[in-house]
Structure 1
């Protein structure tokens, strides 16, 4: 069974109409590397923009070419749509002066939201010299950016302990972050416990759950291995035997994401960040079912 408590089971019976006008969403994309992938990205942006997300983010790779693509895509989204675009920005292997130049360029181009991350360490590196909290502080020195940072309900894979990871998040918030967006998860209780612990240490900003609609279970397992995300037994059972059945996998993945959002909504969560993997179909269907629809359809 997906959810374990009686309260959660009751929450699943919530009428979908109760969610209307009560859920806010944001979407994550990544920079395309081929012409075909770029077409897919822009089709997804066009499809999802009518849902009027709070913002859309674009990830930031570890090499210069990927970073340039992020800059280009962010500026194009801002130019071609009315969406608020938030580039990811990392501070590993980039000087403070370079970061300030990038930030100023974004601000000058009307881009006022950033997802600030430490970034992956180069292979063979020891303890990093800079952290996300340093990047948040630097960005605030450049301009009054609206900054999101990362949070890990099941603990960052490099953290010494759950408590040290939590205190690192608190420092990012104190440096000037507006919200935290979590790594994807499937154990709803892990998110709720984490949120309670955040409150207990004095974190007042929103902890926005990251929702990953699963369409490929094998790919999910690889992602989870990198990020310290636990794959519950029930999730494995849901996708068992569906390796060659994409249609059913999509239906199962959508159902799981809908259940997550419904339960968390009843627990007071109103903002959700969807990891789209540059595909719009599954995310759009989930949002539609949850009552997040174009204004013309609601009126």
Structure 2
């Protein structure tokens, strides 16, 4: 492995003072790794819309980071959603991760707002027509929970790219071959936009399994066996080894960009980045 990939990081907006300190410490720790961009999520059902906006502006203004704001179709009219786009434009934000979003809390199935966007492709098309943004979208190497299968997910991704998305970030996965199969299917379908693998360094095995169950990621038996054998005392070292190995396999397979789900905990992410040659630039340190 000789090539060093470009990296990006996902954060979530803070809901408390303690979480605010954790976000700023995470940004401070990872900014010297020179990410292409960082993204800030919405809470489930769009519940952190204002917090997301505040975090995006703060990260952009105070940390000098290129911030991509998550934006969803959940529980908002088209006018309300596009007003958020305009506010980001005024704040100097130039990247958006456009997603359909999960169903609001208490609902099992996503139902569009009567005056809202029906899906992420409609949202992407509206942003592309109205503003000069770099638009990223989501992708699923394994079937989305609402999808009949991978072929449908590939077709849906092509629709989003055709609508104006310039790249896609995948849900996390455990095996490099899962990504390579998906990438090949996308290429065969005529999708030329870069597909960036989403990497989840496992901060908690129990938490990772819950996350996988919600988003349709299959948990291989070898991973369960490995974490059971490692036990609580060996979980972190195993997580670092597995994430670094996965990244190495992806890089060897031609991947040039990696997107890390940080969960606002920078230490493990920084260690994995160091193992694949992504090192800190002291000049980018944030006071």
Normalising to structure 1: TM-score of the pair?
Answer: 0.89
- The structural deviation recorded for 1:76 is 0.4
Q: Deviations over 1:49-107 (max 9, x none)?
A: 00010000000124565111000000001110111011100012211111111101101
Q: Deviations over 1:270-289 (max 9, x none)?
A: 10000000000000111112
Answer whether contact 1:210 1:274 (CA < 8 A) is retained. yes
Name 2:187's counterpart in structure 1: 199
Name 1:136's counterpart in structure 2: 124
The 2-side partners of 1:64 and 1:270 are apart by 31
Change (3 A) 1:29 1:126: closer
Name 1:264's counterpart in structure 2: 250
Change (3 A) 1:218 1:65: closer
SS of the residue 1:105 aligns to: helix
SS of the residue 2:186 aligns to: helix
Change (3 A) 1:90 1:64: closer
Name 2:10's counterpart in structure 1: 28
Q: Deviations over 1:16-54 (max 9, x none)?
A: xx13xx310000000111211111111010000000100
Alignment of 1:100-139 (within 5 A): 100-122=82-104, 123=107, 125=109, 128=112, 130-139=118-127
Report the aligned-residue RMSD.
Answer: 1.6
The 2-side partners of 1:33 and 1:100 are apart by 24
SS of the residue 2:57 aligns to: helix
Moved over 4 A (4+): 124-129
Name 1:49's counterpart in structure 2: 31
The 2-side partners of 1:124 and 1:283 are apart by 32
Name 2:266's counterpart in structure 1: 280
Q: 222, 226, 233: which is aligned to 2:221?
A: 233
The 2-side partners of 1:276 and 1:62 are apart by 17
Tell whether 2:206 aligns with 1:218. Answer: yes
The 2-side partners of 1:125 and 1:268 are apart by 37
Name 1:11's counterpart in structure 2: none
The 1-side partners of 2:23 and 2:110 are apart by 36
Q: Deviations over 1:132-164 (max 9, x none)?
A: 001101111221210110000011110123212
SS of the residue 1:148 aligns to: strand
Tell whether 2:276 aligns with 1:290. Answer: yes
SS of the residue 2:232 aligns to: coil
Name 2:140's counterpart in structure 1: 152
- The structural deviation recorded for 1:215 is 2.2
Answer whether contact 1:92 1:130 (CA < 8 A) is retained. no
Change (3 A) 1:259 1:203: same
Normalising to structure 2: TM-score of the pair?
Answer: 0.92
The 1-side partners of 2:44 and 2:255 are apart by 32
Answer whether contact 1:104 1:142 (CA < 8 A) is retained. no
